[in-house]
Amino acid sequence: MLKYSLVGYDGSETSQRAFRFALELARCGGGRVRVVSVLQVTEGGADACALMMTDSAAQRTQELLEELRTIAPDADQLVDLEIIHGSPGDVLLTQVRQHPIDHIVIGHTARGTLGRWLLGSVSEDVLAGSHVPVTVIR
């Protein structure tokens, strides 16, 4: 039985469906859901990144928890939430090594070949590097 699912959450429709799916698994099996939202810094140096992390982390965490509560009012009882800066695929795979995650649930956004080449594909990165089962929600 799956006891601790990891959800990569970016607020998109597919990540919301992934969250609902993982939450239903947790409810059925007495498990928990770890929701991780990854913020990518594309401009500015290390100083800009450090300032952004300090100023917005607590506020963004509260906003995200409120968003999850609109999807599932019982989110407080079943969800562990963390916002991390980095590359989404790398962050999710690191979470599996740092926590007792036994399942990953991620949303998949269809992109063309050029979009995947420019932006990469989190679901492809996670599928290629994961040592636990992965469910991709479309």
pLDDT at 50: 59
**Helix, strand or coil, per DSSP, at residue 80:** strand
Question: Hunting for tokens 């979009």 — which residue is that?
Answer: 115
Residue 18's alpha-carbon distances to 10, 126, 138, in angstroms, are 11, 14, 9
Mode of pairing for the β-strands spanning 79-85 and 103-107: unpaired
For residue 55, pLDDT over 80 is answered with: no
Span 25-41, pLDDT tens digits: 999 999 999 999 988 76
Mean pLDDT of 53-79: 86
Q: Is 44 exposed, middle or buried (0-12, 13-18, 19+ CB in 10 A)?
A: exposed
Per the model's pLDDT, the better-predicted residue between 18 and 85 turns out to be 18
Question: Hunting for tokens 């506020």 — which residue is that?
Answer: 59
Chosen CATH of 4-137 out of 3.40.50.620, 3.30.70.20, 3.40.50.300, 3.40.50.1100: 3.40.50.620
Give Cα 93 to chain centroid, integer Å: 11
Mean confidence (pLDDT) of the chain = 84
For residue 113, pLDDT over 80 is answered with: no
The residue type of 23 is: L
Question: Hunting for tokens 């799956």 — which residue is that?
Answer: 2
